[in-house]
């Protein structure tokens, strides 16, 4: 059972994580905080988080020790083990006794036992039907992980998922905002160029834009680039 002190520590950790998500944050720092908290407050020896890249390949992004990292890397190298299984199925995979496991993960078992681990529990980082990685808890002795710890681990995995997706959304929003601002800036330059062409050729604004667009198309240059050259006087367009 989770005692009162540990339960309070868990609540304080979730509160701290919530504050982190509200403010500007580094997603790697967030994930490292999560694995450190798992190792400290849950009945585990080490913890690690694996994330899938754009091609669906998993890699370690946060780990509490070199030993746990080595086990994770071995899993990835041979594409076997509970972490891979959890990622593929989107389900919690529990191996309370690695030595007695009959799953056939031979090389994983050898590596984990060699590093001194007796049990492992893989929890998916999942949003609806999409799994983006796994939170992996390792123990130095065989044994079941108590239900309270599994619930807390899933909550941590959910926080990690929210943090990662939120960071991605912010990054994508920033890129979109930059693209929109770039488009707005380009439009300002185009309006300035239209004024220059209209003045130098004595034509209406609409016809000036036609001249700019025609020049851009015939020379296979972007309109924004043509406009910029007109404004800085390195290009002059005549009827």
Whether 88 and 198 map to the same domain: the answer is no
Query: Would you state the pLDDT for residue 174?
Result: 65
Q: Looking at the 3D structure of the chain, how many domains does it have?
A: 2
Mean pLDDT per 10-residue interval, the chain, length 239 residues:
64 67 65 83 88 81 78 72 91 93 85 89 86 90 89 82 72 62 75 90 87 87 88 87
- 122: three-class secondary structure by DSSP: strand
Whether 86 and 190 map to the same domain: the answer is no
d(CA 211, CA 199): 13
Whether 73 and 147 map to the same domain: the answer is yes
Query: Would you state the pLDDT for residue 128?
Result: 77
Any domain includes 38? yes
Q: What one-character-per-residue DSSP string does 30-75 give?
A: HHHHHHHHHHHHSS-SEEEEEEE-TTS-EEEEEES-HHHHHHHHHH
Whether 52 and 111 map to the same domain: the answer is yes
Q: CA–CA distance from 78 to each of 50, 55, 65, 81 (Å)?
A: 15, 17, 21, 9
Q: Which two tokens stand for residue 71?
A: 């086990």
Q: Which two tokens stand for residue 191?
A: 């309006």
Query: Would you state the pLDDT for residue 1?
Result: 43
Query: Would you state the pLDDT for residue 62?
Result: 82
Query: Would you state the pLDDT for residue 206?
Result: 80
Query: Would you state the pLDDT for residue 137?
Result: 92
Closest CA to 94 of 123, 133, 130: 123
Query: Would you state the pLDDT for residue 69?
Result: 72
Query: Would you state the pLDDT for residue 78?
Result: 63
Query: Would you state the pLDDT for residue 37?
Result: 84
């Amino acid at each position: 059972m989770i005692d009162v002190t540990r339960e309070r520590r868990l609540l304080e950790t979730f509160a701290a994580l919530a504050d982190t998500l509200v403010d500007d944050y580094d997603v790697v720092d967030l994930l490292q905080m999560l694995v450190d908290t798992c190792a400290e407050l849950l009945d585990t020896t080490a913890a690690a988080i694996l994330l899938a890249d754009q091609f669906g390949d998993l890699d370690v992004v946060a780990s509490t020790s070199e030993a746990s990292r080595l086990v994770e890397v071995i899993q990835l190298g041979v594409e076997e083990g509970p972490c891979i299984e959890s990622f593929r199925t989107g389900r919690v995979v529990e191996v309370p006794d690695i030595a007695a496991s009959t799953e056939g993960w031979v090389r994983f078992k050898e590596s984990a036992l060699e590093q001194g681990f007796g049990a492992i529990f893989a929890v998916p980082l999942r949003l609806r039907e999409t799994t983006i990685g796994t939170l992996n808890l390792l123990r130095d002795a065989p044994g079941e992980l108590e239900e309270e710890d599994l619930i807390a681990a899933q909550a941590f995995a959910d926080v990690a998922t929210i943090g990662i997706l939120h960071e991605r959304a912010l990054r994508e929003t920033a890129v979109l905002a930059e693209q929109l601002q770039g488009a707005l800036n380009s439009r300002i330059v185009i309006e300035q160029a239209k004024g220059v062409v209209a003045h130098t050729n004595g034509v209406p604004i609409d016809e000036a834009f036609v001249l700019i667009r025609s020049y851009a198309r015939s020379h296979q240059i972007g309109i924004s680039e043509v406009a910029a050259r007109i404004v800085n006087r390195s290009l002059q367009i005549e009827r």
